[in-house]
Structure 1
Amino acid sequence: MSTSPNVVPDGVVYHRLLVRKFGPYLAVAISAAIGIFAALLLIGSTSAMRGIPGFILAIVAIPTLPLFGVPVMGGTVRWLLAIVSSAFLWAFVGHLAAQRSTNRTISSWPEWRREWTRLSIGVWVGAMFGLGVAAIALGINPISM
């Protein structure tokens, strides 16, 4: 990261610029790490012990999966569209968290993490709500399974 003559290395302004520059990338990297872990659980899974946590983690990493109908209909194109749109969503969430956290005078990664967590919980609740609506619309009763 280039510094101008007015920016003190490891100073307040430097940390604010660092958070604003790398916040969106960090949000995408976090969701990618969760997605890789979900894929490791799902690949070759033949039991609910790995399948259920893997699918929930996949929804956490790729919250637009329900929008593309992935729980009901599969396909490579649907998965790719969901992954790309989720990457844009997470980049926006990271950008928004960076903007909100750097409004304070002194801010760094802990403030970004706090804002990112708040925004991410909203995204995750919305994705799970979408799954619930899809399950009700399809008449799936998870309790009787």
Structure 2
Amino acid sequence: MNYIGSKFSLLDFIENSIKSVNSSLNDKIFCDIFAGTCAVGRHFKTKVKQVIANDLEFYSFVLAQNYIVNHTRISNIQELFDELNNEIKTPLIKGKIFENYSFCGSQNRQYFSDENGAKIDAIRQKIQIWLDSKKIDKKVYFH
């Protein structure tokens, strides 16, 4: 996930800057403050002893759980992604994200395209259905 303000494009600069002060990172604890999409913490996860990520937004917590905390391999992950990306199995829904963050929504914002806003709503609702029906296990997927 990438968005305006993501530090993804700065990863080489950040790593080189840190290594110019201390070249040995493997025994260090890395703090990713204002973590956002956890691009920086995810990058350093395999390079340091521990990553601590912090952000005010709940979406950042969810991403940190997946990118930084989670060590579980999911055997059917491609099957799940395929279902989420299939508009017949997961039809677009004009829900909360569409209404509040898409141009044709009630707030007339253009954070997401109309199609992507509706797709996010559809995927979120499908995942909730899977959780409720026990098709996926919250402990495995959201550690």
| TM-score of the two chains, using structure 1 as the length reference | 0.28
Structure with the larger strand share: 2
| TM-score of the two chains, using structure 2 as the length reference | 0.28
- Structure number with the bigger relative contact order (C-alpha 8 A, sep ≥ 6) is 1
Structure with the larger helix share: 1
